[in-house]
Amino acid sequence: MIKTIFNVHPYAMELPGGGEMQIMKYVQYMPGECEVILHDIWRPRLREARIFHHFHMVSGAEGFLAYVKSLHSKVVLSPNLWINATNSENLDLAQIRQYYEIADMIVCNSRVEIDNLSEFTDIPREKARVVPNGVDLSFVTPVSDSDFRSWADIRGPYLLSVGNIERRKNQLASIRAARSLGLPLICIGRIREKEYFDACVRDGPGDTFRFVGHLDQDDPRLAAAYQNCEAFLFPGQLETPGIAALEAAAAGAPVIITKEGSAREYFSDLVEYVDPNDQDAINAALARTLSRPRTNDLRHHIVSNYSWPHVVMHLLGHYLELGFNK
């Protein structure tokens, strides 16, 4: 049996997002031939596994990873990073390259993510592998929308956004697009940036911006929200591509998503791509989406290629490539 230890920075689960959800889905769907141990600093089990999988490159873990490697473990790194004008100036390239040097394998969410990191950070391509993001097939199963509508206090048609409220997710652009068509935008998630949330409230008076809070992934109200929205809006500053967008697609919702990131590698020509900084283009993409009849093409594409059980087999294959089976 393969054993691997999962580790992430100390405050990751305080306000979990897609990256943290990815970790827990790996745990949930990992096949029986691989045991996953969640690293606990108070009860470390570092010598029980020969693979140590570290997620994110938040400052401060380099020394720890070097120590883990000294125990004859193979270090797998998931950067969960996309670089563009919004974040490139804040990167510590020396630190990133130190992470790369320690890692025996670097797991990215797409081929284009490897290209992006190669351009900005000289990622060693020989170490890079792809494991795409995934989606729970539970979102495909039809559910009644009555409980969701009662909880969200929504009766007519609505647009949907799912994700933490923060500048990177660009909810303000979604609010303005919804307002341009006179539809309410239901936002599900947590508040990660309070000042940005306050700006959303100011910009979405009345029913335009409806923040209803967080729903767990297995809550049928979340599936109902996806299945019954007029469209799912995700014009973030960058996405890789975002688990929520995959869930919306699996549920049958039309998707408008940012062109910044790896979304095109997942969704092909089956969604609308937008410049997150072009409000007129976002408004127009939404109008086009709502004018077209729905099809099942996007749903079938996502379900066939990106279910979590299918995705995790890619990860298991990469672990086997490292040569350890105990």
The pLDDT assigned to 39 comes to: 97
pLDDT at 18 over 90: no
What percentage of the chain exceeds 70 in pLDDT? 99
pLDDT at 74 over 90: yes
For the segment 258-275, what is each residue's pLDDT rounded down to a tens digit? 999 999 999 999 999 999
pLDDT at 325 over 70: no
Question: How large is the average pLDDT for residues 97-117?
Answer: 96
The pLDDT assigned to 82 comes to: 86
**Are 140 and 303 in contact, with CB atoms under 8 Å apart?**
yes
Other Cβ atoms less than 10 A from the Cβ of 237: the count is: 20
**Are 312 and 134 in contact, with CB atoms under 8 Å apart?**
yes
Question: How large is the average pLDDT for residues 91-115?
Answer: 94
Grade residue 324 by pLDDT with cuts at 50, 70 and 90.
Answer: low
For the segment 196-241, what is each residue's pLDDT rounded down to a tens digit? 999 999 998 778 999 999 999 899 999 999 999 999 999 999 888 8
Give burial (CB, 10 Å; 0-12/13-18/19+) of 170: buried
Task: Judge if the upstream peptide bond of residue 254 is cis by omega within 30 degrees of 0.
Answer: no
Question: How large is the average pLDDT for residues 95-106?
Answer: 95
List, as one string, the DSSP characters of 24-39: HHHHHH--TTEEEEE-
Identify the residue with better confidence: 323 or 54: 54
Listed range (91-95, 107-111, 116-120) with the worst mean pLDDT? 91-95
Question: How large is the average pLDDT for residues 51-73?
Answer: 94
pLDDT at 86 over 80: no
Other Cβ atoms less than 10 A from the Cβ of 246: the count is: 26
pLDDT at 103 over 90: yes
pLDDT at 148 over 60: yes
Please name each of the domains of the chain with its CATH number: 2-134+307-321 (3.40.50.2000), 137-305 (3.40.50.2000)
List, as one string, the DSSP characters of 246-263: HHHHHHT--EEEESSBSH
Average of per-residue pLDDT values in the chain: 94
Grade residue 15 by pLDDT with cuts at 50, 70 and 90.
Answer: confident
pLDDT at 191 over 70: yes
What pTM value is reported for the model? 0.91
Listed range (13-27, 95-109, 117-131) with the worst mean pLDDT? 13-27
Question: How large is the average pLDDT for residues 152-167?
Answer: 95
Grade residue 326 by pLDDT with cuts at 50, 70 and 90.
Answer: very low
